[in-house]
Amino acid sequence: MSAKLQTPIDYLKGVGPNRADLLRKELGIHTYQDLINLFPNRYIDRTQYYKINQLQRNNADVQIIGKITGFKEVAQKRGKRLVATFQDDTGTMELVWFRGHKWIRDSLKPNKPYVAFGKTNWFSGKFNMAHPDLELLEDHQKNLSSGMQAIYPSTEKLTNKGISNRVMSKIMQQLFIETGGKFTETLSENICSELKLISKKDALFNVHFPKNQNLLSKAQYRLKFEELFYIQLQLILKNLIHKSKIKGFPFEKVGDYFNTFFSTHLPFQLTNAQKRVLKEIRVDLGSNAQMNRLLQGDVGSGKTIVALMSMLIALDNGFQACLMAPTEILSVQHYNGLVEQCKSLNISIKLLTGSTKTSDRKKIHDSLENGELQILIGTHALLEDKVKFKNLGLAIIDEQHRFGVAQRSKLWKKNTSPPHILVMTATPIPRTLAMSLYGDLDISVIDELPPGRKPVKTVHRYDKNRLNVFRFIRDEIDKGRQIYIVYPLIQESSALDYKDLMDGYESISRDFPMPKYQISIVHGKMKPADKEYEMQRFIKGETQIMVATTVIEVGVNVPNASVMIIESAERFGLSQLHQLRGRVGRGAEQSYCILMTGHKLSSDSKTRMETMVKTNDGFEIAEVDLRLRGPGDIMGTQQSGVLNLKIADIIKDNDILQSARFYAKKVLQNDQTLSKPENSVLLNTYKQLGKYKNIWNYIS
């Protein structure tokens, strides 16, 4: 990357201070480097020329070579229009202007060959072209953009201030003239020859001024590969450096706690997927490096038992462990489950949340510091400065996307040496995104459900089928089952959502009258104690129906609940629908999920309903979600900036991403420091990318 590319954009001929200011504000272009990386959105094919007798009535962009043989002015309702007769050797057509007559007549030369480019219209028996792009044939032949014409990203402000696509094209040509089209190669010879990639110089030229479709495709492939390759190189390097520099505590043995639990207290046989993941975790814990692993598993796949067994290994080696969850409901549930499973192991486990009493907090703090307390479960309260461990060996974070990176690192600092980290999520992340966002974590996946679990049957019903749905609910309640009915909650304060919920509650109360039926209701406006009371009634089976907003999306476990009805399902995203469906199907009985919608559905909503009915596989659902919503939305705000890619598209270019990751791994396996002569290009480019951070956003 030559130093010339770091020149401020103001110095490029034809830009000047005013245009430079607009380019900075509107498109973030500060330097020549930024301009060269402004890749076109699309292209217009200017490689083909039409004869007038070949034109079709399809209102398409075409270009024709011909001569202007005369002008006339035609009166119309308002003012006049200027019409020129344009002729080639097969016929004539008209060129039309509604304004700028004098300037046009003065600047155009009759009987000289021109290239006319624009949209054709058929009007009173003849083709015409309004406000065509006209260029003398000899200028056109000298021009760089005579092949496929690039159309650049733009904004309303740029267009209004006269920075049209034509101007952008001119500026881009000027950049190539000033740099002489000399761009340093950024990939090694090995990679270029193995993948038959064209050079960096040719790729940049052909992405801005492609002569034909074939050269354009080669240029795009080369630039996409390079962009994804360096992102992967950075992530994999980060992981390797992490492993070599950050020493973890080696947990050398698997002892009594683990073995006793495994042989006598396991509530069910582990699935093969659980065994495989446990093995991966044991290898990490036994090595000298700090574990940094992401554990993905669909709702109900048994992540918690894997988390518990990992904690037992920490205890066997004389260390403490903690588990942090995003909500109080979820941390209470984890706590109750662990206490139940460990009751005969004689382990000290405590719960710390925002509602823990001050006197209890004091005891927890003391017993943590002197090492009596072995496992601490809780919410963000675990991150407070007062919470100090004697020797924290393993920290587990549940539903990681709800915690920022800064919060994760706070846990690290609870010790002189950082604990092993296991991050769990029930939000399946498509492989493409996982490779890009969590490429610096090792990833384990539990991809099978525990035996005895039947997949939930999902159906889509319109509002007019409501009576049948209610009949089905009655039958299920008669069999002793319980039902969830969930209403959308777009904003906690939204009066409309609250009204929907209350109207729904009233109509359900009419159809399921007391005393035969009991109904719980839970929503965001209730006090925590009231919410907890209603939840407990449902958990104990005192109520048969739970009417709720999405408060229950994460972490309510009622094995006897067998039906999930989602009202206005079209207002939910796919991952939310999948999370809600995961609240049923936790017992041995067949469970059902009923998606209720109105009749008018957008095509995206239809796709979401069809996907839910067709599959229970969270990863498949996540892939569809990614296609519908794009990567930024899925990761939530704190991570949407990560994928600020210049040319690659993480969804469409999945195979290029796989290839980029493969080559990045291959290079680093043979030469972790990139110090071999054949990798000097890679090292140099990597350092440059680090220096000019605006080139590519660093990854959280």
Half-sphere exposure of 157 (CA within 13 A, CB side): 9
Residue 442, φ and ψ in degrees, nearest 5: -85, 145
Q: CATH number, domain at 596?
A: 3.40.50.300
Long-range contacts of range 461-466, CB-CB < 8 Å, 24 or more positions apart? 461/594, 461/595, 461/596, 461/597, 462/596, 462/597, 462/598, 462/599, 463/596, 463/597, 463/598, 463/599, 464/599, 466/596
Residue 646 belongs to some domain of the structure: no
Domains: count for the chain: 4
At residue 640, does pLDDT exceed 80?
no
54 and 121 fall within a common domain = yes
Instruction: Kindly indicate the confidence band of residue 427, based on its pLDDT and cuts at 50, 70 and 90.
Output: confident
At residue 636, does pLDDT exceed 80?
no
Residue 2 belongs to some domain of the structure: no
- Ranking 103-112, 429-438, 483-492 by mean pLDDT, the lowest is 429-438
In the predicted model, what is the mean pLDDT of residues 576-593?
Answer: 87
325 and 306 fall within a common domain = yes
Residue 123, φ and ψ in degrees, nearest 5: -145, 125
At residue 574, does pLDDT exceed 80?
yes
pLDDT above 90 covers a percentage of the chain that reads 50
Which of 396, 414, 446 represents a domain boundary (last residue)? Answer: 446
138 and 229 fall within a common domain = no
CA-wise closest residue to 685 among 696, 672, 671: 696
At residue 222, does pLDDT exceed 80?
yes
Cα–Cα distance list, 397 to 277, 285, 351, 658 (Å): 16, 16, 15, 28
Instruction: Kindly indicate the confidence band of residue 700, based on its pLDDT and cuts at 50, 70 and 90.
Output: very low
At residue 497, does pLDDT exceed 90?
no
State pLDDT tens for residues 533-564: 888 899 899 999 999 887 665 556 788 899 99
Measured at the CA of 541, the angle between CA 538 and CA 544, to 5 degrees, comes to: 70
120 and 225 fall within a common domain = no
In angstroms, the CA 137 to CA 604 distance is: 47
Which of 582, 615, 648 represents a domain boundary (last residue)? Answer: 615
Residue 694, φ and ψ in degrees, nearest 5: -65, -10
* Number of helical (H) and strand (E) elements in the chain, helices listed first: 26, 21
Residue 76 belongs to some domain of the structure: yes
Residues contacting 282, CB < 8 A, separation 6+: 254, 313
In angstroms, the CA 565 to CA 570 distance is: 13
384 and 272 fall within a common domain = yes
By residue range, what is the domain housing residue 298?
Answer: 256-446
In the predicted model, what is the mean pLDDT of residues 563-573?
Answer: 92
216 and 264 fall within a common domain = no
Which of 127, 146, 165 represents a domain boundary (last residue)? Answer: 146
Residue 240 belongs to some domain of the structure: no
CA-wise closest residue to 581 among 599, 600, 603, 608: 608
What pLDDT does residue 555 have? 52
At residue 531, does pLDDT exceed 60?
yes
Residue 670 belongs to some domain of the structure: yes
485 and 551 fall within a common domain = yes
What pLDDT does residue 590 have? 92
State pLDDT tens for residues 253-291: 999 999 999 998 887 789 999 999 999 999 999 988 889
State pLDDT tens for residues 314-367: 999 999 999 999 888 788 889 998 999 998 899 999 999 988 999 999 999 999
State pLDDT tens for residues 469-495: 999 999 999 999 999 999 887 555 566
In angstroms, the CA 350 to CA 431 distance is: 36
In the predicted model, what is the mean pLDDT of residues 184-193?
Answer: 94
462 and 339 fall within a common domain = no
Residue 563 belongs to some domain of the structure: yes
State pLDDT tens for residues 289-316: 889 898 988 777 888 899 999 999 999 9
Instruction: Kindly indicate the confidence band of residue 58, based on its pLDDT and cuts at 50, 70 and 90.
Output: confident
533 and 406 fall within a common domain = no
User: Is the separation of the CB atoms in 348 and 374 below 8 Å?
Assistant: yes
